[in-house]
Amino acid sequence: MKSAIRYELKRILLPLVVFLACAAVIAVAYCAIAMLEQRSGAPSNSTLGVHCAILCILATVAPVLQFSYRMKQRTVDLWYSLPITRKQLTLVRILGGLVLTLAPFALGYWLGVAVVAIRGAHFDHFWYLPAFFALLLAGTALFLVNAFFFTRGNSVFDGIFFMLLWCCILPVVFTSLNLNLAYDNYYLYNFGDNRINFDTIGTFLFSYSPAVLLTNVFSDFVLKESFDSLPFYFLTSGGELEGEIILIAALILPVIEGVLAYFGLTRFAERDKAENASQVSSSWWGYKTLIPAYALLVTGIVTTTTVINAFEFDFIFFFYLALIAVGAFVLYFVYRHSFRLKKSDILSVVISMLGGIAYAYMLYGIYRLIW
């Protein structure tokens, strides 16, 4: 195991040097030219945003570099023939990926903070320290989550596509709920602030949100400002979600996500078969689940916006349904690596779209029962 770790550190040396150089140049250049303090009404800039962006990019690229060996028959046979278990190999690759993600981020971060300090900004520089460790936590979790979804594909394209679709699916779910159940007495009846709204929940459950939320919270500390509040309306109570709750949630969510992703990576390490490399990605974490799920959700959103809320049932509704069906079939072409569809594929799309229409009307029925 120790020799495998030493070899892994040597193997990633070149990309690590490239990542270190890129992160350092971007962070220093941005912090050197950014307008730090308020001038002519412009808001102050803690520069934490650029570090968050660097971290998110690294946590997206590193899983692809570290686990793409599973997607090529030649490399997967080579790596699986080594005198090391697949679980141990996965752990080594996770370690190397975290080095590729966190080391460049750390270098760029502290160089950027040094530039800000040299420029003499009147910030509370102490908060850069806890912000760094909080972002390390968020970056670690994001890497693990992206690595898990990437490894559910049998090709690099499929793995990247799975990362993209899974990071967005929960926000899409809560968007559909919000479109159907959002309600505000004030605008309809001119009294109170009594609304149902699920936007904030969807905001929290986007894969990259913890890092962004932590950046926003610690920016307030650095700039000596009060906590930002997010509008949060759930069921019939209206109000603001205070900064303390945002901070706690943004710290707890990465822990939960990272633990689950790590468990998934190590659990599936021994089950994944070498012969699946470059083949159809038949995992239930992939197209089998994602295509019907998105067809259902998007159909539900279209039904709500073009029929239920607009009180119309015209050509535009069927036009959007046709676009959804075409998009789903294109994804099945990608899934099957062929232009031939199975009957089960067509049936899946039809049932999912009918389910989406039923889903929209079910939520509308709940809405009518409540109000």
Residue carrying structure tokens 């993600």 = 101
Q: What tokens were used for 198?
A: 């699920």
* The predicted structure's pLDDT at residue 348: 92
Listed residue (19, 33, 187) closest to 103, CA to CA:
19
Specify whether 79 is located in the same domain as 186: yes
pLDDT, tens digit, 9 for 90 and up, residues 346-362: 999 999 999 999 988 88
| Residue range of the domain that includes 312 | 287-370
* The predicted structure's pLDDT at residue 276: 62
Specify whether 300 is located in the same domain as 188: no
Specify whether 175 is located in the same domain as 310: no
Specify whether 180 is located in the same domain as 33: yes
Question: How far, in Å, are 15, 47, 173, 253 from residue 112 at the CA level?
Answer: 21, 8, 38, 27
Q: How far apart are CA 247 and CA 217, in angstroms?
A: 7
pLDDT, tens digit, 9 for 90 and up, residues 85-128: 778 888 889 999 999 999 999 999 999 999 999 988 888 889 99
Residue 190 lies in a domain: yes
Of 214, 243, 276, the residue that ends a domain is 276
Specify whether 292 is located in the same domain as 257: no
Specify whether 246 is located in the same domain as 295: no
**Secondary structure E strands in the chain:** 183-184, 195-196, 230-231, 240-241
Specify whether 167 is located in the same domain as 309: no
Specify whether 130 is located in the same domain as 213: yes
DSSP 8-state symbol, 311? T
Q: What tokens were used for 123?
A: 């910030």
Of 220, 255, 276, the residue that ends a domain is 276
Of 247, 276, 305, the residue that ends a domain is 276
pTM, full prediction: 0.85
Residue 281 lies in a domain: no
- Check residues 336 and 294 and name the one with the higher pLDDT: 294
Q: Please give the mean pLDDT across all residues of the chain.
A: 82
